[in-house]
């Protein structure tokens, strides 16, 4: 299968592109390289440096492909609050531009990078795909709900095969955001650099941490799916943030201080997945447990930061 990966030079996209190549698919990465990195694109993949706002370039890049895996988009929640119009333009309008370009190019299959945030404050745990979507606390979550809705529209109007993957908390190598807002890279980097670890809510929040290579495999599993489908992608294990910190300390063999940042408005106290549907229908399950994933992540940052044991 020939697959175009938007945002394929970024954190998750680079892993998705590599797994596609390893499984024998033809891969084209479409990335504007604003946040993505050229060196993360597999050598066997073609790279088109373009923005989804450039409809002609996107349509041209799409021709001859069988499917799209759509990961391009802004992801910082705080930025979405500060710049909601810009965020919506990039995440929602550009996604519709992509769908239109797909329609014109004759590509009718898409796997979309959605988020567990669409559920809002959970009414029950673990979260399941048939749970209602909740009120969104920020524009980032609203953009994910909006794009899922447009996928449904293009399925109804044009018989697109559409899959929305609702991620929980990805972590692992190649997570190189600047500034970094996610817990695991901030914990790992601070510990390696022997700095205080920044922590909200004393680390009592419960999250479902999924290793990025497991998540990458989850994007390939539904390429043969038909119709409109939604899948949770998580480990089905809820872990407190403070337990992630303690695991990092145990792996490193030393401790660093905690920088208690207090409470943060908008945080959900607990969120973790039921991934029974994707396991039953597509045969996907998370394979890397948290301790092994953190070991790999620590080694990645150790090499990148040039820190010896």
95-122 per-position pLDDT tens digit: 999 999 999 999 999 999 999 999 988 8
Q: What is the pLDDT of residue 40?
A: 94
Average pLDDT value for the chain: 94
Q: What is the pLDDT of residue 171?
A: 95
pLDDT band at residue 264 under the 50/70/90 scheme:
confident
Q: What is the pLDDT of residue 78?
A: 80
How far is it, in rounded angstroms, from Cα 31 to Cα 36?
7
What residue spans in the chain does CATH classification 3.90.25.10 cover? 172-207+237-305
Q: What is the pLDDT of residue 179?
A: 61
Angle CA 281–283–286, to nearest 5: 120
What residue spans in the chain does CATH classification 3.40.50.720 cover? 2-170+208-233
pLDDT band at residue 290 under the 50/70/90 scheme:
very high
> Does 140 qualify as catalytic in the annotation?
yes
- Structure-block tokens of residue 153: 């529209």
How far is it, in rounded angstroms, from Cα 54 to Cα 182?
30
Instruction: List, for residues 146-175, the tens digit of each pLDDT value.
Output: 999 999 999 999 999 999 999 999 999 987
- Structure-block tokens of residue 12: 């998750």
pLDDT at 176 > cutoff 90: no
Element (H, E) at 158: helix 139-158
pLDDT at 293 > cutoff 90: yes
Q: What is the pLDDT of residue 177?
A: 62
pTM across the whole model? 0.94
How far is it, in rounded angstroms, from Cα 190 to Cα 153?
44
How far is it, in rounded angstroms, from Cα 100 to Cα 106?
10
Q: What CATH number has the domain spanning 172-207+237-305?
A: 3.90.25.10
How far is it, in rounded angstroms, from Cα 138 to Cα 189?
27
pLDDT at 216 > cutoff 90: yes
Q: Which of 119, 140, 209, 231 is catalytic?
A: 140
Tell me, what DSSP letter sits at residue 172?
Answer: -
> In the CATH scheme, what architecture does the domain 2-170+208-233 have?
3-Layer(aba) Sandwich (3.40)
């Amino acid at each position: 299968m020939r697959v175009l990966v938007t945002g394929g030079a970024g954190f998750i996209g680079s892993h998705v592109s590599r797994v596609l190549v390893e499984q024998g698919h033809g891969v084209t990465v479409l990335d504007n390289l604003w946040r993505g990195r050229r060196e993360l694109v597999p050598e066997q993949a073609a790279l088109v440096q373009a923005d989804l706002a450039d409809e002609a370039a996107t349509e041209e890049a799409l021709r001859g492909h069988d499917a799209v895996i759509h990961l391009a988009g802004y992801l910082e929640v705080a930025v979405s609050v500060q710049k909601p119009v810009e965020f919506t333009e990039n995440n929602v309008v550009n996604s519709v531009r992509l769908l239109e370009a797909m329609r014109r190019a004759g590509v009718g299959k898409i796997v979309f990078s959605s988020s567990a945030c669409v559920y809002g404050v959970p009414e029950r745990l673990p979260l399941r795909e048939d749970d209602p979507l909740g009120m969104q606390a920020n524009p980032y979550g609203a953009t994910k709900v909006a794009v899922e809705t447009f996928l449904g529209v293009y399925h109804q109007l044009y018989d697109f095969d559409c899959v929305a993957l609702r991620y929980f908390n990805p972590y692992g190598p190649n997570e190189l955001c600047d500034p970094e807002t996610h817990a695991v890279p901030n914990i790992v980097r601070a510990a390696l650099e022997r700095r205080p670890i920044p922590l909200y809510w004393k680390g009592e929040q419960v999250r479902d941490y999924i290793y990025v290579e497991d998540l990458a495999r989850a994007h390939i599993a539904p390429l043969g799916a038909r119709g409109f489908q939604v899948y949770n992608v998580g480990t089905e294990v809820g872990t407190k943030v403070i337990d992630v910190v303690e695991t990092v300390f145990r792996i490193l063999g030393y401790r660093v201080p905690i920088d208690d940042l207090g409470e943060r408005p908008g945080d959900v106290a607990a969120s973790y997945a039921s991934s029974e549907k994707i396991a039953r229908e597509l045969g996907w399950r998370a394979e890397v447990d948290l301790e092994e994933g953190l070991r790999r992540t620590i080694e990645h940052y150790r090499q990148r930061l040039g820190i010896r044991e």
